Amino acid sequence: MMHGALEDITKAVGNTPIVRLNRVAQDVASEVYVKCEFLNPGGSHKDRLAWNLLRRAEENGLRPGGTIVEATSGNTGASLALLAAIKGYKCVFVMPDKMSQEKISGLRAFGAKVVVCPTAVDADDPRSYYKTARRIADETPNCFYANQYHNPANPEAHYLWTGPEIWKQTQGDFDAFVAGMGTGGTVSGCGKYFKEQSKKVQIVGVDPVGSLYYDFVKTGRITKPFSYKVEGIGEDFFPTSMNLDILDDVVRVDDKECFLMTRALTREEGLFVGGSGGAAVAGAIKWARAQKKPKKILVFLCDAGQKYVSKIFNDDWMRENGFLDDEPGLGTVADLLASRPRQNIVTASPRSTVRDVIRSLKELGISQLPVVERGKLRGIVGEVDLLRHLVNGQKTLDSSVGEILEGDYATVTPDTKIELLQNSLADAKVAIVTNGTDVVGIVTKIDLIDFLARRQREEAAPPSVLPPAPSAIVDLALPKPAKPAAEPKAKAAKAAPAQETAKPAPAKAPAPAKPAAKAPPAHAKPAKAAPAKPAAKAAPAPAKPAVKAPPAPAKPAAKAPPAPAKPAKAAPAKPAAKAPPARAPKATIPPPAPKAAKAPKTAPAKGRAGAKPAPAKPAPSKGKPTKRR
């Protein structure tokens, strides 16, 4: 045997390094370290598990040439396939269809047979990958069913091997051990060993939104699980290999948090890990932020990133699923809550009576109430539960609702994406929104439908135009009539419209300036009839602007009147009694000559402006006759 060589690849399992995270954890006071289990020969910590599973199986009579059957998310299968290749066993692996193609192809590369089953079925469904694996094992002679979810050899591998290795490497110099919660082998085995060495070490589990663990640890209730994208952690049933009593705390993360942290670990720390590793680090940082004092945290990185290149490290896949920051998606639960009228969250206590809850539901017009005890969510009680309770007749109206709590709900956080919320509501009655231990909202299917419908209406709506359309026209039109009024005595009239727009006090225009300063903006519109002032010199000229469009000065005047013309028709009805300027346009019409004379009563300075149209009275006889009103 050559010096320094190993007997076979199985002897290279273990002794993986521990390194510090520098960039992704720089915003927390705690020190975050990672155990690089993805550097094992099989690409994950499951190499340790596979070694112990086969050791126990061979002790129990597994013979050479036998078949190994297992339900796996990919990592346990890869480790078993590696050992089977050396020891001469055949393999049949059953996987859920959400697993990456790289995992499936990797198992087949070792010569294993792979059976793919649907993910979105209950664990007890005959089509589930758990039940399918069990059936294949029963039908196969000389077979070893690894059964990692219920095999005590799973946590034993980490109690005998991983835990002691970490303790030796660190000399116990860490405050918390953080790992993803899957089969429970790592958390239970390592946790047991660490607790035996020091009671001060805290064991923290990380669970994805959609899994059962978080709600059960926090509330003691079994909620409705639903599908999620991250692989290798979380469960929709309770494996016996998981010891939840060993946990000091549980942190929840969603798919987006997992995947973005996975990519950050690769690009900023050089750690090419899978989604469960990103989940563990994201959970550890979230937990660190909640601590009052800095701690030394050790995070367990399960597997390598090569198996997720087509998913987590594929921008197209990430974008399609709404996980990239540059992709807006449909929003979050926080967006949905913000779109509704603000509501007070009403809860019940487990000691509340059925009578009290019925009264609350009736008064508030709602169909379910969260049940909270000492700040922790215990479940919900709804109309159907109360109806069933009353129909059965086993209890009275004075019975406590704690006896009829319902677990058919999902819990989400304000940061949960709408796409994930939709998955949860497909399987559960309602989603309860929690922020830590606080209940901050309840979302039903109709809430989600209403939010999405409103969003579609907003997206389909045409772009909004400037609201003050008429004033915009006036603003654009006012300067134009001012330009043609460049005739000698019309300078004051030219200044007046400009001053009416800007409302500054006129500096050079003596008499007309004062009325312009007094005249409110509402009168400014009819004052555009002032372009008729040039008619003082040439009566025919201003007469035409009033009716037609004269040559040079009339072009702007023709554009200007359209704006005042509309208010002139509408305004006389309302402002006619208020403001004489509204009557000024009527001064160009022969019949209301007396009305034009009234103008000087309220605006003496405008008396000039109102008097000048008088010579313009014969003008209509030269042009087209004006209509009487």
Just list the catalytic residues: 46
Rounded Cα distance, 410 and 598, in Å: 76
Rounded Cα distance, 166 and 169, in Å: 5
DSSP string for 92-129: EEEEETTS-HHHHHHHHHTT-EEEEE-SSS-TTSTTSH
Beta 113-117 vs 202-208: how paired, if at all? unpaired
DSSP string for 13-80: -S---EEE--STTTTSSSEEEEEEGGGSTTSBTHHHHHHHHHHHHHHTTPPTT-EEEEE-SSHHHHHH
Rounded Cα distance, 103 and 307, in Å: 6
The C-alpha angle 619, 622, 624, rounded to 5 degrees, equals: 95
Query: With DSSP H G I counted as helix, E B as strand and the rest as coil, what are the percentages for the chain, rounded to 5?
Result: 50, 15, 35
The token duo for 432 is 């309860």
- SS3 call for 466: coil
36: which residues sit within 8 A by CB, 6+ positions away?
Answer: 16, 17, 18, 19, 271, 301
- Measured between its terminal Cα atoms, the distance across the chain in Å is 118
Rounded Cα distance, 376 and 214, in Å: 12
Rounded Cα distance, 213 and 302, in Å: 19
Neighbouring C-beta atoms of residue 8, cutoff 10 Å: 10
The token duo for 249 is 């705390």
Rounded Cα distance, 85 and 340, in Å: 59
Distances (CA, A) of 106 to 79, 82, 147: 11, 11, 20
Written as one letter, the residue type at 461 is A
**Which of 33, 46, 236, 12 shows the shortest CA–CA distance to 123?**
236
CA-based max dimension of the chain? 125
Length of the chain measured in residues:
629
Rounded Cα distance, 257 and 260, in Å: 5
Rounded Cα distance, 206 and 213, in Å: 9
Helix or strand run (H / E) with residue 569: helix 562-573
- SS3 call for 83: helix
Q: Any idea which residue has 């209403």 for tokens? A: 450
Distances (CA, A) of 77 to 273, 374, 424, 443, 467: 18, 43, 29, 39, 64
Helix or strand run (H / E) with residue 623: none
Neighbouring C-beta atoms of residue 78, cutoff 10 Å: 26
Rounded Cα distance, 91 and 86, in Å: 12
